[in-house]
Amino acid sequence: MVTLYCAIVGVARNVFSVRVDESDSVHDLKKAIKAEKPNKILCDADELQLYLAKKVKGVVAEEEKGDDQKEWLTQLDALEGVSDTSGYKHLQFTDAELRDVGLDTGDLGEVSRAERAAGKGHVHVLVKLPEHVADAASAVPHPRTTALNEPKTYAEECLSLTEWDVGVVHKIPLIWEFMSSLGGCTTSGEMFWRMEDKQVVSLMVDGWFRESTRDRINVHANKKSILMGSPGIGKSTLLCVMAFHLVFKHKKNVLVYRRLTGRKQSNCLFYLGYEDGKVVQFAVQRCKAPNAISIYEHLIRQQGISNVWLLLDGFRYEDIPEGVRTFKMLATSQQVDLKSQERIDAYCCLLPCWSKKDLWLMGGLIYKFATEDMEERFYYSGGSVREFTLATSEDIRSAIDDAISGVDDVSNLLSNKSSALTGRSQVDRLRHTFVTKVDETNQFTARRYWEQVIDSEYAVLALSVRLKSDALFRIYS
């Protein structure tokens, strides 16, 4: 068996691999490619045109061109898409065996790990879609940008995000209004700022923008930020406000793609960026993955991939569509266990659940809840701000009842990996994650400091009949 790396002509950031046998035919390779990319290749396998991704080095006379004077296309070369197949050998005979057309194991060349990490890994096959398929893909209408109204006021709402005082309410009415039809961002245009929020934002901004020095290496430089945490604690709100901060403070072009799961909601996308020095925007509601990928690729072709910052909200890490995996930030409620290779360019950061003290402050300042009301609310909700701020205590109780009924195996309450194993488990709606010391930023990225408890007394009592006493102590202590 041999692993071949392929790239679709005209599509940026789309290098993928297929496993085939050297004795397989060109037609077998076409079928393997179509099977690997079913959402991108919407035609029969025999309609694909394949090209050996080797090109002549320098200026060489046609009759002198030999394999030793050709070099493989690199993944770095394919980063922004290959638009022209001239100069590449067309694999036009479908019955030819791969080992006879330059795709034998010995023909593929050796690449070191360091070279692969630098983007010098080889691309072996270029895949050209038939015109009607390529035209259909390019026919997806790309939204037109319009000037953002009141940019100075938007800037005032988010410029000093990293310097916001903690324990107080900050008003973001324009951001709230902008986001109201795009999945929302706070319920009232007011945001209570916790020390946990400040630490997470400072940590991510530091990773993105601080230059390393000899005495202080930036260990998160050029890495994707994966913001994790229990459901209903404000990760999505933080991501949305961060998007505006990146635009107005750091002058970035930002594309946000949100996975929404509520009733009458569907995935949406919005863009904030610069044209001729002015802030422009567009938004797409009911935006399916192929459309989002097409828009992202269009922006990359216009501006270059380093100039488009992609933020993803609500996606399971394992289920992120292939065309949008080059994100800068992901906010997810699912556990993420990065493989050693993935840790090279990504890290996880915890947004802890809410303390009782902060919920009390927020409840009084924004919602004007009475103390007795907040006691009852916290009895049901624990550290979930989403549940804590529902309309009535009965609504909170019903939400927790739903979560309890969704726990099929109570032993999952003792497992750190349960939510990574199933997307249907309700475990993490009950089990909340905290750090031991919020004033130490390293605790937000080091899992050994993360503590998981069920702090809803109502949930613990309901589960107590299904757990042994020692297990009950472990999840409630």
CATH number for the domain that contains residue 257: 3.40.50
Query: pLDDT-based confidence at 417, cuts 50/70/90?
Result: very low
| H/E element, 453 | strand 450-453
Of 106-110, 178-182, 227-231, the range with the lowest mean pLDDT is: 106-110
The predicted structure's pLDDT at residue 106 = 84
Q: For residue 48, count CB atoms less than 10 angstroms from its CB and return exposed for 0-12, middle for 13-18, buried for 19 or more.
A: buried
Record the tokens describing residue 302, joined without a space. Answer: 């216009």
- CATH number, domain of 96, equals 3.10.20.90
What do you get for the CA distance between the two ends of the chain, in Å?
Answer: 53
Whether 108 and 174 map to the same domain: the answer is no
pTM above 0.75, yes or no: no
Query: pLDDT-based confidence at 79, cuts 50/70/90?
Result: confident
CA distance 353 to 333: 12
Whether 371 and 330 map to the same domain: the answer is no
Q: What percent of the chain has pLDDT over 90?
A: 62
Whether 154 and 249 map to the same domain: the answer is yes
pLDDT digits (tens, 9 = 90+) for 342-389: 999 999 999 999 999 999 999 999 999 999 999 999 999 999 999 999
Whether 99 and 202 map to the same domain: the answer is no
Query: pLDDT-based confidence at 415, cuts 50/70/90?
Result: low
Which of the two residues, 220 and 262, has the higher pLDDT score?
A: 220
The predicted structure's pLDDT at residue 467 = 62
Nearest to 381 by CA among 197, 195, 232: 232
Nearest to 304 by CA among 32, 13, 55: 13
CB distance 142 to 298 below 8 Å: yes
pLDDT digits (tens, 9 = 90+) for 117-162: 888 889 999 999 887 555 545 555 689 999 999 999 999 999 999 9
| H/E element, 435 | strand 432-435
Record the tokens describing residue 211, joined without a space. Answer: 């230059």
The predicted structure's pLDDT at residue 475 = 52
CA distance 314 to 475: 26
Whether 191 and 286 map to the same domain: the answer is yes
pLDDT digits (tens, 9 = 90+) for 36-60: 988 778 789 999 999 999 876 544 4
Range of the domain at 414: 356-476
Whether 111 and 169 map to the same domain: the answer is no
Whether 327 and 195 map to the same domain: the answer is yes
CB distance 255 to 247 below 8 Å: no
Query: pLDDT-based confidence at 413, cuts 50/70/90?
Result: low
Q: What is the DSSP string of 402-426?
A: HHHHT-S-GGGGG-TTHHHH-SS--
Among 295, 317, 350, the domain-final residue is: 350
Which of the two residues, 112 and 238, has the higher pLDDT score?
A: 238
pLDDT digits (tens, 9 = 90+) for 243-301: 999 999 999 999 999 998 876 778 999 999 999 999 999 999 999 888 899 999 899 98
The predicted structure's pLDDT at residue 185 = 92
pLDDT digits (tens, 9 = 90+) for 323-343: 899 999 999 987 788 988 899
Amino acid at 458: Y
Among 138, 156, 189, the domain-final residue is: 138
Residues sharing a CB contact under 8 Å with residue 468, sequence separation 6 or more, in sequence order: none
Among 328, 350, 372, the domain-final residue is: 350
CB distance 185 to 175 below 8 Å: yes
Whether 338 and 361 map to the same domain: the answer is no
Whether 442 and 343 map to the same domain: the answer is no
CA distance 84 to 65: 19
Whether 73 and 55 map to the same domain: the answer is yes
Estimate the share of the chain in helix, then strand, then coil, as percent rounded to the nearest 5.
Answer: 40, 20, 40
- Number of domains within the chain: 3
Whether 97 and 13 map to the same domain: the answer is yes
Which residues on adjacent β-strands are paired with residue 139?
none
CB distance 207 to 218 below 8 Å: yes
Mean pLDDT of all residues in the chain? 87
Whether 153 and 299 map to the same domain: the answer is yes
pLDDT digits (tens, 9 = 90+) for 189-218: 999 999 999 999 999 999 999 999 999 999
